[in-house]
Structure 1
Amino acid sequence: MGDLQSLRVFISCLDQQSLPRILQICSGVYFQGSIYELSGSEVCLSTGDLVKVIGLELLSVSCEEIETGASFELPTEYPGHFSLVPEDLPYNTIEEIVGLCPVGVDACGSFTFICQNELTIDNFTLPAGKQLTLLSVEVARNGERLARCQVVGQNMASAEILLPMALRGEFYECQSDRGYSLQEIMASSRLSSRHFRNTAEKNSGSVLIFSPMYEISAIMHMRKNVVKFPSSLEVDVEDVTDQFQDLVFITPLSMTEVATQPVESFPTMAEIIDGPEGNQFFNCSWFQELQRGRHLVLHSRGTTTMILASTPKGRKGKQYFIISKSYGGRMRRRAREFGSVYELYLASSQFPGLKVSVTHHCEAVEEEGMPALSVGDQLEVLGKVLMNGPGDKSGAAQKVECLICKRTTEVVDDEDDEDEEEDSEEISLPLFMAGNFVENLSDNKKYKLTDLISSTLPLDVKVVTRDKALEKDPLMGLPALKLEETFTETTVLTSLPNQPDRCFELPVRWLQMSLCFTSDHLPWSEAPERHVETVTEVTEKFYYEYHKLVCKIEEPPPRPPKRKPSTSAVPKKSSKSESKSSKLRSAVTKQLDNLSLGQTKGKRAPAPPPPEDTPDQPPPLLPRKSSSIAETNLTSVHNTYVKSPTVAHKSEQRLSDSDHDYESIEDAITNPHESLFY
């Protein structure tokens, strides 16, 4: 059992090579109570608690001046150097020097000392006051340990002598010119407890002592996660490693760490410490069992080949599955449906010689090079070519990617309806052309999943025979299933203790949860025959996150070429004209809403008299597109300020031929009201 000392002192003098160490909390002054919220972990240090220190990380170094008591922080990467201050206490034997050498005997020429009295070794006498530099420790043939030292004589001549460890004397450490970096000082438990001066200040500098500030990673007894706290906590600890060597501390493991455990660790029992809360990747029964505190049986770990599959969108929406390669159901290939020529091109690039049937009529568009297709036409994809398409505005021909297909149609002989002939021709279909096609399949064979994934994916299939190893096969009864691609996952084969034979595979990459191995007994006397769930339903989020992870980017379909403008087309109204026309109609509507035959208040003012300087010209009229309104105005009583209806009509016809493409109905509706007033 170790001595009682503060946590700061214990960690400063601790050799990290001796980790892990078990400490017992004996006493201390707690700030903010006895509970610390540090690094997101709640740490409660009470008297009697056991803490297993498993790691240290140097955060900073506190530097204190001995004379003044001032202290300041230094970063761990401080570039300056410091010289070691010799101690005043004497060493009594050479063995004591070797044992307390501040940097170890492996650092040649790092420790220099003198002897205050004369030394006699065999027939050699060493005068008092001679400086000796410790070089190394050697073992003689008789097993005696000797210290090899260097002594400097007259005219700087040097010699090496061997001093026995039991040699006694009054030895004192000498000042060394060697400088130590902050990293070297903190890495040595002997150096970190010594005094230093800054090499830039030489002997006039202040004496310094360094106190490292560490972040301690530890496992606390009866806690299931690693906690981190600083070494500056004012608590007293005692090293009880030897007393509690057999004490088992629970170690939390992530799913990745579980999958890297030795094969001999399985099967074993485990307890869930933190469940995958908030995980939205799985939509299966076993995922609901992964709750905190639940026990699991871990059978083995390994890698599994899986297939990503999806269904067409139906009443329940689109469904997604990951299917293990060992799935035992049987499937038939299903004819694929295509909604465009571009989809035909993608499929034919994976399956050369693709044959399809046309399921909807398509009319020909000669301007864009699209031929007519009839229901029942048989197409065989031959290849893709680059052809001349319709010209652009400048008249230059555009290059269009087309799919060359062999079209076969059945021709019925009029003389004998029973005799049918086939007529074939080659046609070119632009990739941007829409259409409806279905794949021609004559294959009615039942396949295993392993046989299907050996060919090129994707494939459309239908499960016709369920996997008998499953209690309920979720793929059975689906109208269609698209096998998209294969991938490999690291998995942990798991089961629940009440059903140890019903196993499921936990994908390590998609489950953020932590477990701890327990010493509970396995729930069987003899290992049962295992039945593995080979189908796992996943969510849409999993589907899209998977594609983000693999960075699979599909090429978008090409844009169709611009159509050549037709000369017979009527030019479209400009947005400016439409805006002006809508404003005018809005103003007329407001005027009509304010008019009433019996209205006296707010009565409209009479029209102003015509200008005197232009007595023969009528007021300007807005153009109209239709002459029907103008003819109606001629039959009504005209405004007295309009000199002649004939002139007005001619003016309307003249203005209607102008460039304006909007019409005004204000005058057409106002004139009948004016006739009533006048």
Structure 2
Amino acid sequence: MGDLQALRVFISCLDQQSLPRILQVCSGVYFQGSIYELSGSEVCLSTGDLVKVIGLELLSVSCEEIDTGASFELPTGYSGHFSLVAEDLPYNTIEEIVGLCPVGVDACGSFTFICQNELTIDTFTLPAGKQLTLLSMEVARNGERLARCQMVGQNMASAEILLPLTLRGEFYECQSDRGYSLQEIMSSSRLSCRQFRNTAEKNSGSLLIFSPVYEISAIMHMRKNVVKFPSSLEVDVQDVTEQYQDLVFITPFSMTEVASQPPESFPTMAEILDGPEGNQFFNCSWFQELQRGRQVVLHACAPTTMILASTPKGRKGKQYFIISGGYGGRMRRRAREFGSVYELYLASSQSPGLKVSVTRHCEEVEEEGMPALSVGEQLEVLRITLMDRLGDKSGAAQKVECLICKRTTEVDDEDENDEDEEEEDREEIALPLFMTGHFVEKLSDNKKYKLTDLISSSLPLDVKVVTRDKDLEKDPLMGLPALKLEETFTENMVLTSLPTQPDWCFALPVRWLQMSLCFTSDHLPWSESPERHVETVTEVTEKFYYEYHKLVSKTEEPPPRPPKRKPSSSEVPKRPSKSESKSTKLRSAVTKQLDNLSLGETKGKRAPAPPPPEDTLDQPPPLLPRKGSSIAESVSVHNTYVKSPTVAHKSAKRLSDSDHDYESIEDAFKNPHESLFY
């Protein structure tokens, strides 16, 4: 059992290579509020408590002036230097010097001393007052221990002599001019307990003594978490490591440490010491069970292949999942949709021979090299190449990345035998990567695939789950309109279950859960190992999705759209005046109203009827008999002009009351407008 010491003194002299050490609090009760903030939990050191020190971290250095008793703290990176103060106490033998001082020239300096009296060694006489520097220890052939020392003579000539450790005399340490940094002082057990002066003050400065302030990481008996407290606490401790070697302290493990345990450690019972704080990554049911103090069964830990998947944005918003490779549902591939040529390029780089169908018209823009596309055209992606784009006014050509595709248009049955026309219907076109468009993938199969079969091909893929995984109580993927399998990744998973349902397991992703557990000696909740049902689908949050992509992937930016060509001065249209612009807008609005007054469903399908002959303009149109009735029954009074409705008068009045200085043209169209409407 060690001697009773203050905690500060014990930690200052402790060799960190000897950790862990078990200490017993022998006097006093220490209770301080600031300790709660350091460790996050209550810390109370009472008489009789056992503390297992597992780590030390230097926080600062306490500096005390011996003359005044004032003390202050210096940071560990302090750049000043201090000179060592030689001690006044004499050494009586060389053996005493060797036992208290380091042997050899090291980074922290060597020990230099003088002898006040004359020494006789065999036939050699060493005069008094000569400075000797201790170099090393040696053992003679007869077993005698000797100290090799260096002596500096006249003209700085040096010589080495061997002094027996039993040599007696009155030896004193010599004052050295060497300056020591704070880091050197704290790293040497010899220097850390000596007195110093500030080198800037020389002999007039106050005597200083340094003591390190450590943050102690320790495990307390009957506590389940690591506590941290400073070494400056005023308590007395005693080293009882030898007496309590067999004492079991509960050791907390992080998820990473659990995953690093050997396979023979599983299965085992564990208790959650600190549950994950907040729900930032998971939307699954098992996450709510990870509460502090909850017992869990840890079955195994192994790297697992996972698939990141997402759904299109729907009524519930986008959903995100990580799916294990052991998922047992069946899926059908869905045609992917692409909104630009760049998306086609990315997909074709992963799926060579990609075929798509155009779903929306695209007009030709000759200046930018964009060809016209029509609905129904079939495109097969061939390759990517650099092509010349039309130059600007200076005539300099520009290189643009283009996707070369084979375009196929659907031909009529009559023309299927015409080889020349068929060749004309198949051509290669160049689509710039910056071009927007609307395409849908052409699929040729309707098979049901396993997940392992799909991920063996290139991703991403759009699928739909058509058969649920029967090993799951509720398959969250069943019923989703679509699912995009984005990419695969490998994650360390700890297979876990609750003691109440030990056969229903879920996987804890090690990298995404910040929690601590401790292994317990409780018995497993079964007599024979049950057949395990593993939850292979875990719903995650949008936060998880984006944090994952920050860690493991880099998104390529699409190519920039080239600048628009500047038209020449002759092509610049004349800007209309304010009044002309307003008049043009009004004409466009009235013309649009007239266009919307087409009869039936014939708008845009056929040309308007020719005007009637001039001699019939004043006569009403002839009346045609209804089908299935006689001419007499179909006779009715012809349509006559009616008064304008109130709405039309109001609109006309509103136009006339305006402050515009142009002439309204609505009057020119009012009568045809009303007669046609009624």
Same fold? TM cut 0.5: yes
Can you list the C-alpha shifts for 1:250-307, whole angstroms capped at 9, x where unaligned?
Answer: 3333223333344554443322122122122112232222111122233333322221
Amino acid at match of 1:496: L
Q: Secondary structure at the match of 2:184?
A: helix
Counterparts in 2 of 1:256 and 1:372: CA distance versus 1, 3 Å: closer
- d(CA) in 1 for partners of 2:274 and 2:375? 62
Q: Does 1:227 align with 2:227?
A: yes
Whether the aligned pair in 2 keeps the contact of 1:271 and 1:293 (CA below 8 Å) is yes
Whether the aligned pair in 2 keeps the contact of 1:398 and 1:561 (CA below 8 Å) is no
Q: Does 1:411 align with 2:412?
A: yes
Moved more, 474-483 or 138-147: 138-147
Counterparts in 2 of 1:206 and 1:321: CA distance versus 1, 3 Å: closer
Query: Aligned residue for 1:669?
Result: none
Q: Does 1:448 align with 2:486?
A: no
- d(CA) in 2 for partners of 1:434 and 1:67? 82
Query: Aligned residue for 1:600?
Result: none
Q: How do 1:277-316 and structure 2 match up within 5 A?
A: 277-316=277-316
Whether the aligned pair in 2 keeps the contact of 1:98 and 1:105 (CA below 8 Å) is no
Whether the aligned pair in 1 keeps the contact of 2:103 and 2:134 (CA below 8 Å) is no
Can you list the C-alpha shifts for 1:57-79, whole angstroms capped at 9, x where unaligned?
Answer: 33333333333444444443344
Counterparts in 2 of 1:622 and 1:37: CA distance versus 1, 3 Å: closer
Aligned residues: 584
**1:163 Cα deviation from its structure 2 partner:** 0.9
Query: Aligned residue for 1:76?
Result: 76
The counterpart of 1:623, out of the listed 639, 661, 665, is: 661
Q: Does 1:424 align with 2:425?
A: yes
Counterparts in 2 of 1:69 and 1:493: CA distance versus 1, 3 Å: same
Amino acid at match of 1:424: D
Can you list the C-alpha shifts for 1:312-344, whole angstroms capped at 9, x where unaligned?
Answer: 344444332212233344433333344555544
Q: Does 1:355 align with 2:355?
A: yes
Q: Secondary structure at the match of 1:133?
A: strand
**1:193 Cα deviation from its structure 2 partner:** 1.6
Query: Aligned residue for 1:460?
Result: 462
Q: Secondary structure at the match of 2:409?
A: strand
Counterparts in 2 of 1:190 and 1:518: CA distance versus 1, 3 Å: farther
Alpha carbon RMSD of aligned pairs, Å?
A: 4.6
- Tell me, which stretches of 5 or more residues in structure 1 are unaligned? 582-620, 633-678
Query: Aligned residue for 2:186?
Result: 186
Can you list the C-alpha shifts for 1:393-419, whole angstroms capped at 9, x where unaligned?
Answer: 999999985764322313133999xxx
Whether the aligned pair in 1 keeps the contact of 2:23 and 2:53 (CA below 8 Å) is yes
Amino acid at match of 1:625: E
Moved more, 249-258 or 36-45: 36-45
Counterparts in 2 of 1:378 and 1:255: CA distance versus 1, 3 Å: same
- d(CA) in 2 for partners of 1:561 and 1:158? 84
Moved more, 558-567 or 313-322: 558-567
Query: Aligned residue for 1:49?
Result: 49
Amino acid at match of 2:96: E
- d(CA) in 2 for partners of 1:318 and 1:34? 45
Amino acid at match of 1:137: M
- d(CA) in 2 for partners of 1:626 and 1:392? 44
- d(CA) in 1 for partners of 2:142 and 2:526? 61
Q: How do 1:580-599 and structure 2 match up within 5 A?
A: none
**1:486 Cα deviation from its structure 2 partner:** 1.6
Q: Does 1:60 align with 2:45?
A: no
- d(CA) in 2 for partners of 1:425 and 1:551? 39
- d(CA) in 1 for partners of 2:542 and 2:203? 72
Whether the aligned pair in 1 keeps the contact of 2:81 and 2:180 (CA below 8 Å) is yes
Can you list the C-alpha shifts for 1:63-109, whole angstroms capped at 9, x where unaligned?
Answer: 333334444444433444433333333434443322212x4556498
Q: Could you state the TM-score of these two structures normalised by the residue count of structure 1?
A: 0.72
**1:218 Cα deviation from its structure 2 partner:** 2.8
Amino acid at match of 1:275: G
Amino acid at match of 1:547: H
Q: How do 1:249-648 and structure 2 match up within 5 A?
A: 249-339=249-339, 343-358=343-358, 362=361, 371=372, 373-375=374-376, 377-383=377-383, 404-413=405-414, 424-426=425-427, 428=429, 437-524=439-526, 527-556=529-558, 623-626=661-664
Counterparts in 2 of 1:65 and 1:384: CA distance versus 1, 3 Å: closer
Can you list the C-alpha shifts for 1:628-648, whole angstroms capped at 9, x where unaligned?
Answer: 789x9xxxxxxxxxxxxxxxx
Whether the aligned pair in 2 keeps the contact of 1:339 and 1:437 (CA below 8 Å) is yes
- d(CA) in 2 for partners of 1:622 and 1:195? 98
- d(CA) in 2 for partners of 1:130 and 1:569? 105
Amino acid at match of 2:260: T
Whether the aligned pair in 2 keeps the contact of 1:338 and 1:436 (CA below 8 Å) is yes
Q: Secondary structure at the match of 1:373?
A: coil
Counterparts in 2 of 1:262 and 1:100: CA distance versus 1, 3 Å: farther
Query: Aligned residue for 1:238?
Result: 238
Can you list the C-alpha shifts for 1:612-655, whole angstroms capped at 9, x where unaligned?
Answer: xxxxxxxxx9723227789x9xxxxxxxxxxxxxxxxxxxxxxx
Counterparts in 2 of 1:113 and 1:273: CA distance versus 1, 3 Å: same
Counterparts in 2 of 1:123 and 1:319: CA distance versus 1, 3 Å: same
Moved more, 306-315 or 136-145: 136-145
Amino acid at match of 2:535: E
**1:123 Cα deviation from its structure 2 partner:** 6.5
- d(CA) in 1 for partners of 2:251 and 2:379? 65
- Tell me, which stretches of 5 or more residues in structure 2 are unaligned? 586-658, 671-678
Counterparts in 2 of 1:69 and 1:463: CA distance versus 1, 3 Å: closer
**1:150 Cα deviation from its structure 2 partner:** 4.0
**1:217 Cα deviation from its structure 2 partner:** 2.8
Whether the aligned pair in 2 keeps the contact of 1:305 and 1:325 (CA below 8 Å) is yes
Whether the aligned pair in 2 keeps the contact of 1:113 and 1:174 (CA below 8 Å) is yes
Q: Secondary structure at the match of 2:26?
A: strand
- d(CA) in 2 for partners of 1:142 and 1:524? 71
Counterparts in 2 of 1:574 and 1:40: CA distance versus 1, 3 Å: farther
Identity %: 80
Amino acid at match of 1:535: V
Q: Secondary structure at the match of 2:248?
A: coil
Whether the aligned pair in 2 keeps the contact of 1:309 and 1:322 (CA below 8 Å) is yes
Counterparts in 2 of 1:339 and 1:160: CA distance versus 1, 3 Å: closer
**1:561 Cα deviation from its structure 2 partner:** 8.2
Whether the aligned pair in 1 keeps the contact of 2:331 and 2:464 (CA below 8 Å) is yes
Q: Secondary structure at the match of 1:447?
A: coil
Q: Could you state the TM-score of these two structures normalised by the residue count of structure 2?
A: 0.72
- d(CA) in 2 for partners of 1:568 and 1:126? 109
**1:559 Cα deviation from its structure 2 partner:** 5.1
Q: Secondary structure at the match of 2:282?
A: coil
Amino acid at match of 1:305: T
- d(CA) in 2 for partners of 1:74 and 1:42? 28
Amino acid at match of 2:543: K
Whether the aligned pair in 1 keeps the contact of 2:115 and 2:172 (CA below 8 Å) is yes
Moved more, 557-566 or 259-268: 557-566
- d(CA) in 2 for partners of 1:442 and 1:99? 88
Amino acid at match of 2:540: V
Whether the aligned pair in 1 keeps the contact of 2:342 and 2:558 (CA below 8 Å) is no
- d(CA) in 2 for partners of 1:396 and 1:159? 85
- d(CA) in 2 for partners of 1:13 and 1:628? 102
Whether the aligned pair in 2 keeps the contact of 1:279 and 1:511 (CA below 8 Å) is no
**1:544 Cα deviation from its structure 2 partner:** 2.4
- d(CA) in 1 for partners of 2:579 and 2:479? 55
Q: Secondary structure at the match of 2:23?
A: strand
- d(CA) in 2 for partners of 1:269 and 1:447? 38
Counterparts in 2 of 1:402 and 1:15: CA distance versus 1, 3 Å: closer
Query: Aligned residue for 1:652?
Result: none
Moved more, 485-494 or 351-360: 351-360
Q: Secondary structure at the match of 1:64?
A: strand
**1:537 Cα deviation from its structure 2 partner:** 1.8
